[in-house]
A = this chain, B = another copy of it.
């Protein structure tokens, strides 16, 4: 209700506002004695500086906007958790927005963030060209932008993602090493990330002299409800399995959702994992270990992605000079593989 202000403190203490302000900010031009008195009194009165006034004066709000497709999935919630940790280490706050993979919602999110006076944006864009003009304008004028995860995006800035080609390659090779050659790859939205994982998959096949079977490249529709999605995927797998001669013996899932869902579907279809079908896939969820069978996963280094994103953004925020001069880098981090029962072909 009745907030204590500098002015009030000054009045009661019989000092000027500026003296009080300086004392509280530990200015060297204030005597220790005065500082002590002021600080003690401020504490007594439970004085809290008004952040808005401070930020107005300073021209910064010490908050960072984050836009990602959706908060719900494990990869993103890990990203958020880590962004949080690093941001707060630097005394920055996070304001999170989701785009739901829609350019329109993304536009709103960007505007809402600007409207909130954030100092910078960290974004995984809705798609490869979504809001590109808007982001470009913002980045070049008011507010620096950093891109993560979906880094195939034509904006000249720091980009932080994983080496999707290599990850796809490694996962596929792991299956081949186990003796599986008929490998289905499950793909989500046909965006850069997916394309590169797919390219890695194809390269691994090629290196092992296995021909790419187009029927094994399965795209799944995310826009439907969970049920429709499940039924769609189930149908596709059932169809592939029906002909003994061409039935696959392994599955590689390129997204969290695809990878975890497919296990349930295989159970429903009473397909043995890994005996009939080995399964590996991208997934950052802790649940991988609790699935039955335990799921082999490719894990993205969310902590590193987050720490680099924050670090680079803060660099840009601090460095007010012309951003067009900077030599921006693209970081492609390595993912790691956890092998569990779903690819255990030893027996």
Binding site for B on A (CB under 8 A): 1-3, 46, 48, 50-53, 55-56, 61-63, 70-72, 74, 77-78, 80-81, 84, 88, 93-98, 112, 114-117, 137, 141-142, 226, 230, 260-265, 267, 285-287, 289-294, 320, 322
Contact yes or no, A226 B77, CB < 8 A: no
CB-based closest 10 A-B pairs:
A264-B290, A267-B292, A51-B117, A292-B292, A52-B56, A77-B77, A52-B117, A71-B81, A261-B290, A52-B55
Given A3-B142, A116-B93, does the pair A290, B260 have CB atoms closer than 8 Å? yes
Contact yes or no, B63 A72, CB < 8 A: no
Determine how close the nearest CB of chain B comes to the CB of A50; give it in whole angstroms: 7
Copies in the complex: 2
Contact yes or no, A112 B141, CB < 8 A: no
Contact yes or no, A260 B287, CB < 8 A: yes
Determine how close the nearest CB of chain B comes to the CB of A3; give it in whole angstroms: 6
- Known contacts A263-B292, A267-B292, A267-B293; 19 additional CB pairs below 8 A are A3-B142, A52-B117, A63-B95, A71-B84, A72-B74, A72-B77, A80-B96, A84-B96, A84-B97, A93-B112, A95-B95, A226-B286, A260-B287, A261-B290, A262-B290, A263-B290, A264-B291, A264-B294, A292-B293
